[in-house]
Amino acid sequence: MKKMIEKFGKLITASFIIIGIGIIIFILSFPLYIYCNIDTDIIGFLIILIGLMIYIIGLIRRKKLHGVKLVALVILASVLGVPILSLIVSLIYYLATGKELGW
């Protein structure tokens, strides 16, 4: 693990672990839904998106990019954050009103 952290950095290594957890949760959604009636596909997908955002942030910090490449990666990270932002807004609305947000 130390070699991997030295080679890629802490953020990128953490993103690999988070993406792996997200993939496992996403793959287990079908058996969990059949046997336990638990739907985890959206949760797994959001965890994968969070891992990708952390990877992009780690890439920006490690490579010290400038110009067009930096702008492109920041825009990509922002676009990946939109589903997470909508989930947070929906959760805040649910906690404040007790009703689901009807998109």
What ranges do the domains of the chain cover?
2-97
User: pLDDT tens digits, residue range 24-80?
Assistant: 999 998 898 889 888 888 888 889 999 999 898 888 888 877 888 888 888 988 888
> Is residue 103 pLDDT above 70, yes or no?
no
User: pLDDT tens digits, residue range 80-94?
Assistant: 888 888 888 888 888
> Is residue 21 pLDDT above 70, yes or no?
yes
pLDDT band of residue 22 (cuts 50, 70, 90) is: very high
**67-89 as b/e, with b when 16 or more CB fall inside 10 Å?**
eeeeeebeeebeebeeeeeeeee
pTM, 2 dp: 0.77
User: pLDDT tens digits, residue range 67-78?
Assistant: 888 888 889 888
Torsion angle, alpha carbons of 7, 10, 16, 20, to 10: 130
